[in-house]
């Protein structure tokens, strides 16, 4: 009888801890994004990037790496965005997406706080079709994923 009470107490503690701390299905990420995403042309049109910045992005040739804290903030913000994305029928577009599925493919520099990157994930299928975009009379030719800009709020 005493053993039964001890087992019941242990089981109650384990169940209580699971309820309190969760089962690990959802990663701990901020509820609110730390920044905002823009397309490259949109960032230029909004005044976040100058013509000189656009030229520098086009001709970027540095081995400089994005600092880990900024990279993590960008990935977390993308996770928040992907978790909230829904299909026209109301279903989640990326059910169960996790942070380790999102990675920064390339870094093209930071310009007055605007971080230019291309970001990818394990769920999106990209084409190899070349895309052409002209921004500030500068032509960008690339295939997916395209460059985007992240700016901290």
What tens digit of pLDDT does each residue of 99-153 get?
999 999 999 999 999 999 999 998 887 778 888 999 999 999 988 788 999 999 9
89's enclosing H/E stretch is: none
For residue 17, being part of any structural domain is answered with no
Q: CA-CA-CA-CA torsion for 72, 76, 78, 82, nearest 10 degrees?
A: 150
For residue 118, being part of any structural domain is answered with yes
Radius of gyration of the chain from Cα atoms?
Answer: 22
For residue 71, being part of any structural domain is answered with yes
Q: How many domains does the chain fold into?
A: 1
For residue 16, being part of any structural domain is answered with no
Q: Range of 38's domain?
A: 27-152
For residue 11, being part of any structural domain is answered with no
Q: What is the pLDDT of residue 27?
A: 61
Distance CA 33, CA 31 (A): 7
- pTM comes to 0.78
For residue 83, being part of any structural domain is answered with yes
For residue 60, being part of any structural domain is answered with yes
Distance CA 114, CA 43 (A): 8
Q: Are 80 and 65 spatial neighbours (Cβ–Cβ below 8 Å)?
A: no
Distance CA 71, CA 65 (A): 10
At residue 1, does pLDDT exceed 60? Answer: no
For residue 3, being part of any structural domain is answered with no
């Amino acid at each position: 009888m005493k053993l039964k009470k001890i087992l019941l107490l242990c089981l109650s503690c384990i169940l209580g801890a699971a309820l309190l701390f969760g089962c690990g299905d959802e990663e701990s990420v901020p509820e609110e994004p730390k920044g905002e995403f823009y397309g490259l042309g949109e960032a230029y049109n909004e005044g976040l990037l100058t013509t000189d910045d656009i030229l520098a992005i086009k001709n970027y040739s540095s081995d400089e790496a994005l600092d880990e804290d900024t990279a993590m903030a960008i990935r977390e913000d993308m996770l928040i965005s992907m978790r909230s994305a829904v299909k026209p029928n109301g279903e989640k577009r990326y059910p169960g997406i996790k942070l380790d599925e999102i990675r920064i493919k390339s870094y093209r520099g930071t310009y007055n706080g605007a971080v230019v990157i291309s970001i990818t994930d394990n769920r999106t299928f990209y084409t190899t079709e070349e895309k052409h975009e002209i921004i500030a009379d500068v032509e960008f030719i690339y295939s997916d994923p395209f460059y985007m800009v992240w700016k901290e709020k």
